[in-house]
Structure 1
């Protein structure tokens, strides 16, 4: 038996099929993964993501400490509520985790992946080095992600007037406290929506309110196909400690200026740039029947080979799509080995669908 969120029994009551995910028993779907996917693209759905880790950072040295720990720069968060996506690197430039850091009235709030929890907490402890920082892990909080074009209006109709006003005025990639609730306009589906962090003892009642308002409970299956269509990375597949952000299409998340900011992994990344980055992450589209899966070999004629990192059938496109790490010189065509046979694939920018629009 794995770890369970406070909503586990409710998931079962709603008919969820559960699976192990990073040591947590989580809902895969509530009957139809494809229906849940389409519901989020066309209306909205709610995901229990309370398995993720919330860490509050306070103290006089918090900003300087996070400037060293993260490849992106928290000093850019010049107002309470602003957020930044960032890799957290080790000295060799590999990705320990990818996370969101929010500026709060008392410091910073980090939201990190579930599977990296132990590694991240160990790394934070190793890097404190007597600095004046307070690190508080928040297992007392629940996290719900309500995603889709109608998500904000439907949630606003269920909460207090002050929270509804906040939801309607939040800009993308902002997160603000209202009482004991933290409301962020972020997500992992390529649609508009919210991530709500609030006391765990309120989770069951509010989840029931959402479902009662017609917001479909949605599981990890739809979450995976939605994020894949949006070209968003899954830790442990598309990014890991063996690869740097430069080989994962995450160069945009590195703040190189000011040059004096010596974040962990900076020297390794500069050395990689000097040598020449050898790989990149691309999107693949299979035009024939078949399914692209992680670890299938990608062959690029006259150039070399790569590997699919994430692959699945795309409900929006009605085709199989994938993210793949391939040689830098890869053009617009390649082949993938499926069950001993080679199939042609189209190589595209690794963003297939965003805000309901097909981009390939």
Structure 2
């Protein structure tokens, strides 16, 4: 393993637990702790914990923070009307392509907080700082923080068990909101399709929280389960469903772009408004043996498409994928996917495949 890879404050905990480590976005991260499938099922049925400290929290403050964020982000932060509310959005380039997708939140008396993807963090930060030059704002990367995600139907109970002082906050925290508890931010968000929380706290405190949750029978989970969980939930991954050359409308993310204020000239707006949609993001379920993977060719009666992400679904027991397809395609259409030179039958479906642990379609045996 490259000795120059970055490591989170929990790296030694992963190593001592026997995790299989891999490179991800210049970080050395756990892919699984023995069984990716068991970790996946633990999150769907009980609870799991992920080290997401490779993601970067960035605080934005200053007298023009709101104006700056209204230019930086495709979604409009004026939609954040309640203390602790969070929104999902994209940063776009001038051509309308996605620089990154992220969550932004605001807690009273705290700066705005953006959480950036690990593989994009350096370029995102440079992009944010370049746009900040025209505003009275400070863009502050929070390298002093660590982050963990506790996900699954029993996530709340586990977190309240190990941190009983947080109970009142956790009980009253709606989905997609955040609260500040001392130096810790707790957000009811996640990337698995299950209920759960993402906790950002001082790096010096993360080991104790991790150890306490493991002792409470919360399953440690790696990047492998994180990917199969998010794919079943129909959640996009940067570099797959979206890139700097893919517009939100072609990545199923048009709902993250807010055009209602005609005076708000956010970066990429002109391209978004003038470039017609050329594809749509939909789901595929394979109808024969095999596993769909990114970049595989999809043949439809309306022309070619491409798999953006694919896997074997542990919950459904079949291969599922997200794919960019012609606009004429619809759920129920039969297509083929080219796998090792063979045209393998598949059917188009709406996303997600799984919601709150339940299949969203009937799988034929």
Into which bin does the TM-score normalised by the smaller protein fall?
A: over 0.9
Distance 1:236 1:359 in 2: 26
Q: Shift in Å at residue 104 of structure 1?
A: 2.2
Correspondences of 1:226-237 after superposition (within 5 Å): 226-237=229-240
Q: Deviations over 1:76-123 (max 9, x none)?
A: 112220000001000100000000000122330000100001111111
Q: Secondary structure at the match of 2:122?
A: helix
Q: Shift in Å at residue 347 of structure 1?
A: 0.3
Q: Deviations over 1:293-322 (max 9, x none)?
A: 011100112x21111110000000000000
Please tell me whether the aligned partners of residues 58 and 141 of structure 2 are also in contact (alpha carbons under 8 angstroms).
Answer: yes
2:104 maps to: 101
Q: Shift in Å at residue 129 of structure 1?
A: 2.5
Q: Secondary structure at the match of 2:131?
A: helix
2:351 maps to: 350
1:126 aligns with 2:130: yes
Q: Shift in Å at residue 230 of structure 1?
A: 0.1
Q: Shift in Å at residue 62 of structure 1?
A: 0.4
Correspondences of 1:321-336 after superposition (within 5 Å): 321-331=320-330, 332-336=333-337
**Over aligned residues, Cα RMSD in angstroms?**
0.9
Distance 1:257 1:44 in 2: 39
TM (norm. structure 1) is 0.97
**Structure 2 unaligned regions, length at least 5:** none
Q: Deviations over 1:143-164 (max 9, x none)?
A: 0000000001110111142x12
Correspondences of 1:66-145 after superposition (within 5 Å): 66-105=69-108, 106-145=110-149
User: Following TM superposition, where does structure 1 have runs of at least 4 consecutive aligned residues deviating by more than 4 angstroms?
Assistant: none
1:293 maps to: 293
Q: Shift in Å at residue 130 of structure 1?
A: 3.6
Please tell me whether the aligned partners of residues 85 and 106 of structure 2 are also in contact (alpha carbons under 8 angstroms).
Answer: yes
Distance 2:96 2:271 in 1: 5
Q: Secondary structure at the match of 1:209?
A: helix
Q: Secondary structure at the match of 1:102?
A: strand
TM (norm. structure 2) is 0.96
1:337 aligns with 2:338: yes
Q: Secondary structure at the match of 1:311?
A: strand
1:28 aligns with 2:40: no
- Among residues 238, 254, 269, which one is paired with 1:266 in the alignment? 269
- Among residues 241, 245, 251, which one is paired with 1:242 in the alignment? 245
- Among residues 202, 207, 210, which one is paired with 1:204 in the alignment? 207
Correspondences of 1:217-232 after superposition (within 5 Å): 217-232=220-235
Please tell me whether the aligned partners of residues 191 and 355 of structure 1 are also in contact (alpha carbons under 8 angstroms).
Answer: yes
Distance 2:351 2:246 in 1: 17
